[in-house]
Structure 1
Amino acid sequence: MAGLQVRLNTARVTLRNRELAKLQVSWGVWTTGEWGSLIALSVVAFELGGAPAVGLVGVVRLLPAAALGPLASIVTDRRSRPGVLGATHAGWAVVSLALCGLVLAGAPLAVLLVGLGIGSAAGAVFKPGISALLPQLVRSPSELVAANAVSSLVEAAGIVAGPALAGLLLAVFPPAVTFVALAVLFAVGAAASAAIRTNYQPARSPSVSGLLLLAEPLRGFPALLVNAATRVVVALFVVQLVMRGLLNVVLVVLALAEGGEGAAGALFAAMGAGGLVGALITLGVGGSSRSARWFAFGAVLWGAPVIVIAVWPELPVAFVALAALGLGNAVMDVYGFTLLHRLLPDHLAGRAFGAFWSCAAAAVAAGSALAPLLIEAVGLRWAMGLSGAVLALLPLLLWRPLRTIDEQTSAAAGTLSPAASHAAAAPATRPAAAPAARARPRPVPARRRRAPS
């Protein structure tokens, strides 16, 4: 009981940062809406075309964001990041209403997928924007870890709330009602995002021309690959995200075969419930001297439960296994993103996270596209068992470089990030690796210093 109180106190202290609290509201709304729309669209798609249609929903939901993310994310380094988040929420409110109209009109699957693709393109900048904005709002390394833990807690709550909301509405009302509810939810997210205030001043347009100017939006990719540490973290994330895409399809197929439409939402909600527990655990652990090893532990907890479901493909077993998987997801997110926040330079953060989320979306889309093929080729159980084994074993193969990352980041605590030294220009604000000496933000003067491009 005392341990729980400590964790809740940590969350309470973190959320006393009012701007950070608004950011978490925006993130929670986005996560709830994202998972709610996934469940609603997957159920509608399954009725129209079975498992292959569900796989198409997973691909189209992510592919435009994957393609446009690196190009669009330069907006998060050039424009107000809170404004970008608010506009994205507003765009998805409109898309949700459009999907409602299409469902009511009995539109074919292809038309629904076009609407979904437009929404995916509109949302390409959200995750890069919120990932880049969070380090601008924290005031110390410990608050960075705590903020990531709270973000994981909020994400887990969204994973519970989104599928639960969609499942409840789908069980009682026609699917169109679910999309109206999601539109209202995204409108709330737009208001919360627009209210965020930050000292961040967007960079001036670069004084380059020709091919160098065209390459500006793509500078996030070199930032991810500039050193071995970021390469290892990103690689493990990508494998986990391929598994996520595969699981999105497999769980819908399993649920509809065993328990109907309501079971699909319940399975994803079980994963979210485990994520809540995992986020609470990370709030109590704190610190970041062993972030890479905690990150690896989370990956193992992602893969092993999938193997359990493959061995015992029954709903009661799946609920427990997915709760454990959700716990692993929370641990991976908290410590994985803490590592990326410490390793990436601030003035390239938007583009770097744009490149990361582009790779992430492509990985989830690949998993969603691969799932029907694997199920057809080897069956549902073997598809789950093989993919789970890959993710459970990969951290063991990467154990030595992960330990090296912990040694490097511990030694660099309170200094500039390793990636910053490789940036084309030094950032005007410190990267999130070392905000220890940064005082509580003061009112911004009329003329603010701009970050370089």
Structure 2
Amino acid sequence: MLGTHLTMVAVNLQVYQLSGSSLQVGLVGFVFGVSLLAGLLAGGVLADRVDRRKVVLGTRAAVVVVFAGLAVNAAVPHPQLWFVYVAAVFAGAINGLGSPALLAVAPALVGPRHLAAAGALTALATQFGAMAGPALAGVIAAGPGLAVCFAVDAGCFLVSVLLLSFLPALPPVGEAGDRHPLRSIAEGVRFVGSNRIVMGLLLVDAWAMVFAMPYALFPELGATHFGGGPSTVGLLYTAPAVGAFAGALSSGWVGRTPRAGAVLIGAVVLWGAAIACVGLAPSLWLALAALAVAGFADTISEVVRRALLHNYTPDHLQGRVSGLWLAQGTTAPSVGNLTTGLFARLVSAPAAPLVGGLVCVVGVVAIALGMPGLRKADIGVRASVDGEQAGATAGQD
């Protein structure tokens, strides 16, 4: 996670240095996102057909090659922008192919009782990387240079390959067979549509991200509403990560709660309410406090959502459902930033998070009322030991 965020910043810095254009920076991110989305859909099918350990090891090793290439490109006297675009395509596709398998192995490795704890550790590592990675990238880029940033990330992935090689074989239980990949993806979509708990988990997440995603507003809020400069904008971006890190540290209780579904609903409602408070905050520090609360709530909801998705998904569908969740996690925030930008155009930047947060709260409460099974969902009690039984049972309210 640390290396991933380090490279994200390093790529943006290099593209801007080579092109002098923020549009080019955005285009590289767009290219990465499109290839990531395609890779996630294909990776979900792959994770349900072959040994997941081989998928994870193969994709991680391929990422090492991509980042090593970026390091070489940055080290030569005249780095090439086109190479960064090519690397973005390969990095997105490879990460997409491997991520569903990496998620799908969790139930087999830790068991249903420890899914929440495993999710908390994952969230902790993610948020640590989100906080430390950009700062480390800035220090390295200003000192040894961008080539060292990419080399460090390649080294991080190489270490992960060596560590993951100690895992046992992890073939899926009840493989999807040799049916056409599109039919395999369709089977995963049908399962999500027929299982009201899994559908509810994805729907709540998508609703919150589409209507209460505040990040696109931070530059305008920092410059106009709070009268600050780049440092103020940086604080706005950092506050949710700080709250999320605190949420991951304190999430040990999640695996012991008897009503995980209700906790999820409460956490997402808290996210929406905190985002709404950002629009009402009269001072920067109150806005930062609200964003920290939002980050805390987001991590709690992610830990619970991850555990429940694993718990109510049969093993032979883990890869495809994980791929669909990750694909949603890739697209929904982008749509959400567009939505909040539209709100800001229609009303104002301070009013946009207020409107979006309230829409989030109302929508999530409506979903919870319409899906009582989601509110009653539990971790471990109805675990998918028998995948077919869990899949059928979870689809009932």
Aligned in 2, Cα 1:54/1:286: closer, same or farther, shift over 3 Å?
same
**1:78 is the counterpart of 2:49:** yes
User: 1:321 corresponds to which letter in structure 2?
Assistant: A
Compute the displacement of 1:332 (Å): 0.8
The 8 Å contact of residues 36 and 95 in structure 2, kept in 1 or not, is answered as yes
- Partner SS, residue 96 of structure 2: coil
Q: Structure 2 counterpart of 1:36, which letter?
A: L
Q: Distance in 2 between matches of 1:69 and 1:293?
A: 29
Contact 2:10 2:146 in 1 (8 A): yes
1:71, distance to aligned residue in structure 2 (A)? 2.2
Please say if residues 305 and 321 of structure 1, whose CA atoms lie closer than 8 Å, have aligned partners that are also in contact.
yes
What is the aligned counterpart of 2:251 among 282, 289, 299? 282
**What is residue 90 of structure 1 aligned with on the other side?**
61
- The question of whether the paired residues in 1 share the 8 Å contact of 2:49 and 2:177 is answered with no
Partner deviation per Cα, 1:25-58 (whole Å, 9 max, x = no partner): xxxxxx3233333333445556656665554454
Q: Is the contact made by 2:43 and 2:101 (CA closer than 8 Å) also made in structure 1? A: no
Shift, 1:364, TM fit: 3.0
Partner of 1:64: 35
Aligned residues of 1:52 and 1:372 also touching (Cα < 8 A)? no
CA apart distance, 1:370: 5.6
Give the conservation status (yes or no) of the 8 Å contact 1:240–1:391: yes
Distance 2:235 2:153 in 1: 18
What is the match of residue 7 of structure 2?
37
- Residue of 121, 128, 147 corresponding to 2:100: 128
Shift of 1:226: 1.6
Amino acid at match of 2:253: G
Bigger Cα displacement from structure 2, 269-278 vs 170-179 = 170-179
Match of residue 331, structure 1, among 272, 276, 300: 300
1:153 aligns with 2:124: yes
Normalising by structure 2, report the TM-score: 0.81
Q: What is the one-letter code of the residue matched to 2:129?
A: G
2:84 maps to: 112
Equivalent in 228, 245, 256 of residue 196 of structure 2 = 228
Moved more, 114-123 or 319-328: 319-328
Whether the 8 Å CA contact 1:217–1:351 is kept in 2: the answer is yes
- Partners of 1:93 and 1:334 in 2: how far apart? 28
AA at the equivalent of 1:307: A
1:137 to 2:105 alignment: no
Alpha-carbon distance between aligned partners in 2 of 1:247 and 1:222, rounded to the nearest angstrom: 32
For residue 73 of structure 1, give the secondary structure of its aligned residue in structure 2: helix
Amino acid corresponding to residue 325 of structure 2 in structure 1: F
Do the aligned partners of 2:104 and 2:322 also contact (CA within 8 Å) in 1? yes
- Please, what TM-score do these two structures have when normalized by structure 1? 0.72
* Structure 2 residue aligned with 1:348: 317
Contact 1:35 1:158 in 2 (8 A): yes
Distance 1:280 1:72, change over 3 A: closer
Q: Is the 8 A contact 2:39 2:94 kept in 1?
A: no
Query: 2:330 aligned with 1:358, yes or no?
Result: no
Residue aligning to 2:366: 397
- Residues 96 and 180 in structure 1, CA contact (< 8 A), matched pair in contact too: yes
Query: Counterpart of 2:148?
Result: 177
Cα distance 1:111–1:388, how it changes in 2: closer, same or farther (>3 A)? farther
8 A contact 1:274–1:327 mirrored in 2: yes
Task: Output the CA distance in 2 between the equivalents of 1:254 and 1:185.
Answer: 36
CA RMSD of aligned residues (A): 3.7
* CA pair 373-290 structure 1, distance change in 2 beyond 3 A: same
For the residues of structure 1 that align with 2:12 and 2:223, how far apart are their CA atoms?
Answer: 11
Structure 2 residue aligned with 1:206 = 177
Superposition deviation, residue 349 in structure 1: 0.6
Distance 2:147 2:211 in 1: 30
Q: How big is the shift at 1:133?
A: 0.4
Q: CA deviation at 1:142?
A: 2.8
Matches within 5 A, 1:364-443: 364-367=333-336, 380-401=349-370, 403-407=372-376, 409=378, 413-414=381-382, 416=384, 420-421=388-389
Q: Distance in 1 between matches of 2:200 and 2:105?
A: 23
Distance 1:406 1:384, change over 3 A: closer
Instruction: Verify the 8 A CA contact 1:295 1:332 in the aligned structure 2.
Output: yes
SS state at 1:78 partner: coil
Q: Which runs of no fewer than 5 residues in structure 2 stay unpaired?
A: none
Task: Say whether the 8 Å CA contact 2:313–2:390 is kept in structure 1.
Answer: no
State the distance in 2 between where 1:171 and 1:399 align: 49
Deviation at 1:132? 0.7
In the superposition, relative to structure 1, how do residues 284 and 206 fare at CA in structure 2: closer, same or farther (>3 Å)? closer
State the distance in 2 between where 1:400 and 1:248 align.
29
Partners of 1:249 and 1:102 lie apart in 2 by 31
Q: Note the residue ranges of structure 1 that are not aligned, 5 or more in a row.
A: 1-30, 433-453
Question: What amino acid is aligned across from residue 87 of structure 1 in structure 2?
Answer: G
Q: Percent identity at matched positions?
A: 24
Q: Take 1:394 and 1:94, find their aligned partners in 2: how far apart are those partners?
A: 44
Give the Å deviation of 1:275.
Answer: 1.8
SS of residue matched to 1:197: coil
Q: State the alpha-carbon separation in 2 of the partners of residues 369 and 259 from structure 1.
A: 23
More deviation, 356-365/247-256: 247-256
Aligned residues: 388
Q: Deviations over 1:341-383 (max 9, x none)?
A: 1111111111121122122222234345666666666654444
